[in-house]
Structure 1
């Protein structure tokens, strides 16, 4: 606040590096010596967050932040997601992948000369719908003081919606690719609760790994590597099957590509409450992903 506010009559408040979570009503009250309110004013702070929209299935998305300030003395640049998980860390002149949450490992990149180029942008590979939310970048000095901060709202839209009538024999969740795939890739389809729907590792189906809800109900192309066909056939779809399905391709634990498909069994409402299929702690954000 103004150090001479009694002289200047300026009761304004300066808030450094406002962020999306700071949006609120702020109230200033002026009291006399007896504690009586002499005057009062409300101010509504609205923080506009830069929004980045992208469709799931794209190879990467950029959260752009170029600055004009010199970054001398900066020792740490940190990106976090809406759950406060560490997305990317740049410290003492290099990336620190060991500090990342495992779900972002090998999926993020920053400018190697970010201090010189004043470029704090983050590239996130294979963004998916569940990664929609606020991402925050903070810049720290040697004393751990925040020098600057910015929020981004990433909006990942489901690229494809498949509608089907209840009672049909099967439905196809399509995904054909152009890229060549090595024989040691692992292809996983998972539902919106992250239950395993179908897995194709090392060139052969492994039905024993699937959630029992889907056992005997799914099928993929037997020559999917050769035909570049990652589509999934789901037999006898019902209302409980409505929701988002994600196909992820891994090699040695690294995500190569990823795509979301929304299945809508007609007569059901999208974004319906989760059912009671077998899974653990479905509300825990840390359970969004599992190690490969």
Structure 2
């Protein structure tokens, strides 16, 4: 049987993953949403949600209908979907004794726009427009997807995206000391960005070392995500590109410096 597909663009506030009960559900039913890695996306048990059972990636980002047992609508709402959420999700209903009553799957694809430029250009603009009203005390962070790591430890599966801070705007001003040194003196955002809603980032002297997916995230004062949008940068190598220009455009990073760079795990709020 074909798995239904849901497609959305990065930057939408939320996406709904559909799941309808195919039989009558008992009052003591347990409903679990899991991803392809069998991480728990959302758990409903004992007539209530169980957020402590969620994987941290999905913490504070999911919800189900309050009257799901009455309506049989087990659909899941996932807030602020990003490229990392592109996956196959499984909705499973269990009896009190753990017997599988029903199981449905749905594929989610989150599309990310791509910007392409030739190496040697002076700068590139990574677009991000606010889709919500931004409070005056909002924090804006641009991060890259430096690398992804997954591993097993003590029979548990772990996975982390390590993202470098590209640009930070907080307390009504830029915070260059919070940037990773790779981007130091290479980024700018527009003035009055919270008022205009234009959170776009200008990245100077892009090279193929900047080929990443960049995430623009806006947080409230209480660190709640207000919006999140991504854009992928592709810098094409030009024929005869001067290597001295590359060396001049990107600060040299010693091995000793790398250990102190701001390689920070993705924040989950």
**Given the two structures, how large is their TM-score scaled by the length of structure 1?**
0.73
Q: Identify the residue that residue 235 of structure 1 maps to in structure 2.
A: 204
Does residue 168 in structure 1 map to residue 168 in structure 2?
A: no
Name the structure 1 match of 2:173: 204
State the SS of the aligned residue for 1:65.
coil
Decide whether the 8 Å contact of 1:246 with 1:259 is kept in 2: yes
Is 2:141 the counterpart of 1:188? yes
CA distance in 1, matches of 2:131, 2:90: 34
Aligned to 1:127, the other structure's residue is in SS state: coil
Q: Deviation of residue 181 (structure 1)?
A: 0.8
Aligned residue for 2:29, secondary structure, equals: strand
Q: Structure 1 residue 255 and structure 2 residue 225: aligned?
A: yes
Q: Which has the higher contact order (CA 8 A, sep 6+)?
A: 2
Cα distance, 1:124 vs. partner? 0.8
Change (3 A) 1:146 1:178: closer
Q: Partner of 1:63 in structure 2?
A: 17
> Gapped runs of 5+ residues in structure 1?
1-46, 269-275, 281-286
Post-superposition CA distance 1:132-176 (Å, at most 9, x none): 111111111112222222222111111x22121211111110122
1:225 equivalent in alignment to 2:188 = no
Query: Relative to 1, partners in 2 of residues 1:279 and 1:109: Cα closer, same or farther, differing over 3 Å?
Result: farther
2:266 pairs with 1:289: yes
Cα offsets for 1:101-155 (capped at 9, x unmatched): 2332222111100000000101111111111111111111112222222222111
In 2, the alpha carbon distance for the partners of 1:288 and 1:121 equals: 30
What SS is found at the alignment partner of 1:181? Answer: coil
Structure 1 match to 2:110: 156
The aligned runs of 1:2-151 (5 Å cut-off) are 48-151=2-105
Asked if residue 179 in structure 1 is aligned to residue 179 in structure 2, the reply is no
The RMSD of aligned alpha carbons is 2.3
TM-score by length of 2: 0.79
- The alignment of Structure 1 onto Structure 2 pairs a total of residues equal to 232
Shift of 1:178: 5.0
* Contact 2:65 2:75 survives alignment (8 Å): yes
Alignment of 1:272-283 (within 5 A): 278=258
Q: 8 Å contact 1:218–1:232 — kept in the other structure?
A: yes
Q: Is residue 21–residue 102 contact of structure 2 (8 Å, CA) maintained in 1?
A: no
What secondary structure sits across from 1:237 in the alignment? coil
**SS of match in other structure, 1:195:** strand
| CA–CA separation in structure 1 for the residues paired with 2:104 and 2:201 | 40
Which of these two proteins has the greater Rg computed from alpha carbons? Answer: 1
The 1:107/1:192 distance shift into structure 2, 3 A limit, reads: same
